[in-house]
Each structure stands twice: as C-alpha cells, then as structure tokens.
Amino acid sequence: MIDLLNDTASCEDLLQATNITLQTCIREFAEYRETASDALLGACAPEEIGAYNQGLHIAAVFIILFASLLGAAIPIIVKYHPGWNIDPYFICLGKCMGIGVIIACALVHMLQPAAESLTAPCLPDEFTEGYGAYAYLYCMLAIFAMHLFDFVLESYLMRHVPHSHEGKDEEHAGHVHSVLLTEGLQKTVSAYLLEFGVTVHSIFIGLENGIVGENELRSLLVALVFHQMFEGIALGSRIADASIPSHWHEFILSLVFSIAAPIGIAIGIGITATLNPSGEKFLMIQGTFDAICAGILLYIGLNLLLKDFSEELKKYAKDDSYRRFGMFFALYIGGGLMAFIGKYL
C-alpha cells in the first residue's frame, strides 16, 4: 500500500514537471512569434522621416529639372549648331560616356535595387523563401523581349522596304537605302525605349527623395543632380543620333525625361504622410519596373557597346592610338562615375 502511494506521488510529480515544461515551451514559443512578428512589422513599417523641410524639397524640384534638362539638351543643341565648329570626335566622346552611363545605370541603379526590393522581408514567402531571383528573371525576360522585338522589326523592314531590280547599281543602291533605313529606325526605336526606361526609373528616384528628411535630402541632392545630368547626356546623345521627325519632337522627348524626377519629388511631397516605401505594394511595383527597365537599358547599352562603339572607333580613331584611348577612357569614366553615384542613391 505504501509503495502504491509512493508510485502515485511520483506520477503526480512527473505530470506536474511535464506540465511546467510544456507551459514554458508554449510561453517561449509565443514570445518568439511576437518578437519575429515585431521584427517583420519593423522592417515593413514606415521609417521616421525626422525634420522635413518642404521649402528645400520644392527647391529640389527646380534644381533637378534644370540639371536633367541641361544634360538632355546639350547633345541636341550641339547637333543643330554646326557653326560652333565642335570637333565630331568630342561629340563621339560624349556618346562613349553615355554608353558607360547606360550600362552602369542598368546594373547599379536599377537591377541591384530591384533585387533588394523583391527580396524584402515584408513580401510574400514566394519572394523571400520560395524563389529569390525574380528581379533577375524579369530583367532576363525584358532582354529576350527586346531581342525578339529587334528581330521582328528588322525582318518586317527587310520584307517591306522596296528594292530596285533594274540594274546592279540601282539594286545596290536600293539595298544600301534599306540597310540605312533599318539602322535609322532601330536607333529611333532604341531612343524611345531608352526614354521609357530612364523616365520610369527617374520617377521612382524622385518619389523616394521627395519623402526623405531634410538632412538626408541635403546629402542626396548633389548625387541626384549628377545622376540626372549624366542620364540626360546619355539620352540626349541617343535622341540626337536617331531619326526623330522634328526639332519639337526631340524637345518633347528631352522634356518628358527632365520632368520625370521632379514630378516624383512633387508627388513625394504631397503624400509624405501616407506613402510607405517599405510597404509590400510599393516594393513590388518598384522592384518589377526597375528590373524590367534594367533589362531594356542593359540590352540597349550592350548593343551600343558592341555595334556603335566599334563603328565609331573605326571612324574616328582608326589609326590614332590616343583617340582610341580617349574613347575607351570616356566609356569607363561614364560607367565609373554612375557606379560611384549609385553608392548614394
């Protein structure tokens, strides 16, 4: 009887100890879930802006507008003022610098932020755990789409551009005309696509700068000025090189790019209290558009590097090693400066 009572007491002690251990585990698990939830909410919660100087933000709208318009206008103005007697080689250097800017902008200013946005902790598990390469996937699809578009456009032109068959000379002339028309149209299409990519990117850049505090804006403003100016030079050189129908058309294209970042800043000023750049919707939209635009710019930039750069190298620096060095140096400077600015934007 005594042994039975002892066994019963031992069982009660064991159950009590087990119950205490189970309660401890449940409590610790609940605390862990609460901590993880708070951490996730903290990552997705709006950041504290700090001191906000609306006057400085309004001034930034006009500063960025001027810098963007200046960069985009310089190559076009030079094109229509041959009386300035500017050596075409220097215009070529500007184009080389623009190629470096386009490639660096695609990789540093678009693709890398897109990857960060589309792997943020507040996005669905499919983006953070299931598959973490959506930014690169969207970029790759944009490149393939651009390649297919180029192929279809060239095939269409080669079929529908009239060829002369009355004689060898006329046939050769017709072939040359069709090739020049194809190249001219390709440059025009590339200019429009480049316009789309840098304009969409500039809107998001402006939007993010429109909601930052005064101290952060002061440090970002200089980088943003150079960012927009270099992008403007790259875009302006491609617009000047394309077969755009009229002067006004070129001006409108330059103006659309120039007002993109200021519009983004203005929108940011108006919705500072409600916009959450760390929220799921904003990150999804920004990341997707940045990745697609990165693919477009990367395809254009590499095409320019492999085709236009090589052609202009033969045209302007065929037998001059110093000029060849200058063209390569301009290319690397454009890419290097844009990559350096990416540290601050």
- Percent of residues in the chain assigned helix, strand, coil, to nearest 5: 85, 0, 15
- Quick one: what percent of the chain has pLDDT higher than 70? 77
Question: When comparing pLDDT for 58 and 245, which is higher?
Answer: 58
Q: Please give the Cα distance from 68 to 229 (Å, whole number).
A: 5
Q: What is the DSSP string of 55-106?
A: HHHHHHHHHHHHHHHHHHHHHHHHHT-GGG---HHHHHHHHHHHHHHHHHII
Whether residue 196 is predicted with pLDDT greater than 70 in this model: the reply is yes
- pLDDT value of residue 339: 92
- pLDDT value of residue 24: 61
Q: What is the mean pLDDT of residues 130-157?
A: 87
- pLDDT value of residue 22: 53
pLDDT band at 33 (very low <50, low <70, confident <90, very high): very low
pLDDT band at 27 (very low <50, low <70, confident <90, very high): low
pLDDT band at 162 (very low <50, low <70, confident <90, very high): low
- pLDDT value of residue 2: 47
Question: When comparing pLDDT for 318 and 176, which is higher?
Answer: 318
Q: What is the mean pLDDT of residues 259-276?
A: 84
pLDDT band at 8 (very low <50, low <70, confident <90, very high): low
- pLDDT value of residue 171: 47
Cβ atoms of residues 241 and 307 within 8 Å: no
- pLDDT value of residue 115: 92
> Which tokens is 273 given?
């209290």
Whether residue 325 is predicted with pLDDT greater than 70 in this model: the reply is yes
Side chain identity, residue 262 = P
pLDDT band at 168 (very low <50, low <70, confident <90, very high): very low
- pLDDT value of residue 185: 74
pTM of the model: 0.74
Which residues, including other chains, have CB under 8 Å from residue 128's CB and lie 6 or more apart?
119, 120, 121
Q: 């159950």: which residue's tokens?
A: 15
Q: 């505090």: which residue's tokens?
A: 213
- pLDDT value of residue 62: 94
Whether residue 16 is predicted with pLDDT greater than 80 in this model: the reply is no
- pLDDT value of residue 336: 94
Average pLDDT of the chain? 79
- pLDDT value of residue 280: 83
Q: What is the mean pLDDT of residues 296-303?
A: 91
pLDDT band at 84 (very low <50, low <70, confident <90, very high): confident
pLDDT band at 39 (very low <50, low <70, confident <90, very high): very low
